[in-house]
Amino acid sequence: MNQREQSLGMWLGFLAVVVFAVTLPMTRLATGSAEDPQLSAWFITFGRAALAGALSIAFLLITRSPWPTQAQRKPLFFALLGNVIGFPLLLGFALRHVTSGHAAVFTALLPLATAAMSAWVLHLRARLAFWVCAVLGASLVLVFSLLRAYQQGTGFVPEWADLLLLGAVLSAAVGYVYGAQVTPSLGAERVICWVCVMALPLTVPGALWNWPQQPIHTSSWLALGYVGVFSMWAGFFAWFRGLAMGGPLRVSQLQLLQPFLSILVAVPLLGESLEVMTLGFALAVVAVVFAGKRFSMPAVPAVPTGAEAIAEAKVNADQEKAD
């Protein structure tokens, strides 16, 4: 692999990270605020997955992809529950009540949460230093939640939206772990495509049933289109190609930029302000995640805030086979 390909791989990886970083502010734009509600979390969840499912059908047909085997369907089903339903639904409910910058601090924990979930589900052993990083990262998020609650005059009582954000992170982690189990046999792109296609019998009726009855801002419809086409589908292909061309160890480090990009994008897109405390805690959590990745077990995929995690799991598995 020459230097030009590696450079292009880094740029593709960066492009994918930018695409996924915009997911939080776009979801916030789609759902609206408590004072000005737009699309419901239910409709966003079903609508974006149905959109990605339609694109996935086209991809699977063009590539003549085989049907998943019986053994592959169970992990795909759990990936569906975590990545298609759990994560976007809980995130949508939470983002109607908190800013996307606030949510970015919580979702920065996703790489560590996925590694911890992998250790539990796959019965993998991790170093003590990794668990120390995991506890420290969770503690930082808890302190951030308590301080934000105190600033808002509710005392040191976390908002219920923060519990939803934690649930979203855990849901995504479960989905990534089970999706990664079938990635070596199916291929990363086909995993997310089959997950979206398998969900269509639920997502299409769900989207129609929850179709908004009130007028919706055009910006909210455009935001829904973004999270359906890019966040759940197109962005993955740039990420997969970037990992393959630039190398997973180098390109995956770009995911550490994602929380900060989410916070920065929300300023012009949503008019959110840059808060020193939010940036400080995001930096602290990312630093802990960086340290935790150094101590994580080799079989655990380190992932950003999207199903792009599955791609890195595939590359890691291929490298282990080669070794």
- Residue 37, beta-bridge partner list: 32
Instruction: Kindly indicate the confidence band of residue 85, based on its pLDDT and cuts at 50, 70 and 90.
Output: very high
Kindly report the number of other CB atoms within 10 A of residue 78's CB atom: 18
- What is the rounded CA–CA span in Å between residue 310 and residue 299? 12
φ, ψ of residue 264 in degrees (nearest 5): -70, -40
Backbone angles phi, psi at 37, to 5 degrees: -65, 145
Taking only the tens place, the pLDDT of each residue in 263-297 is: 899 999 998 888 888 889 888 888 887 787 676 65
Residue 83 has pLDDT above 60, yes or no: yes
Is the model's pLDDT at 159 over the cut of 90? Answer: no
Classify residue 131 as exposed, middle or buried by CB count within 10 Å of its CB (0-12, 13-18, 19+): middle
Half-sphere CA count of 260, side-chain side, radius 13 A: 12
Angle at 65 between CA 60 and CA 66, to 5 degrees: 130
pTM over cut 0.85: no
Rounded to whole angstroms, what are the CA distances from 224 to 41, 161, 197, 219, 261?
11, 21, 18, 9, 19
pLDDT band at residue 49 using 50, 70 and 90 as cut-offs: very high
pLDDT of 133 reads 82
Most confident of 3-17, 77-91, 153-167: 77-91
- Percentage of the chain beyond pLDDT 70 is 84
- The mean of the pLDDT values for the chain is 83
Quick one: which of 153, 101, 149, 152 has its CA closest to 272? 101
173-217 pLDDT, tens per residue? 888 888 878 878 887 788 889 999 999 999 999 999 999 999 999
The residue-averaged pLDDT of 108-132 equals 79
27: which residues sit within 8 A by CB, 6+ positions away?
A: 44, 88, 91, 92, 95, 100, 223, 227
Whole-number pLDDT of residue 148: 79
The pLDDT value given to residue 248: 59
Q: What CA–CA distance (Å, rounded) separates 151 from 145? A: 10
pLDDT tens for each residue of 22-34: 999 999 999 998 8
Phi, psi torsion values for 218, nearest 5 degrees: -60, -35
- Any idea which of 44-53, 111-120, 300-309 has the lowest mean pLDDT? 300-309
| Residue 303 region by backbone torsions, left for phi larger than 0, else alpha for psi between -120 and 50, else beta | beta
- Among candidates 112, 93, 113, which has minimal Cα distance to 103? 93
Domain ranges of the chain: 3-322
**What is the average per-residue pLDDT within 63-81?**
92
pLDDT confidence bin for 302, thresholds 50/70/90: very low
Q: Render pLDDT for 219-263 as a digit per residue (tens, 0 to 9).
A: 999 999 999 999 888 888 777 677 667 765 566 667 778 888 888
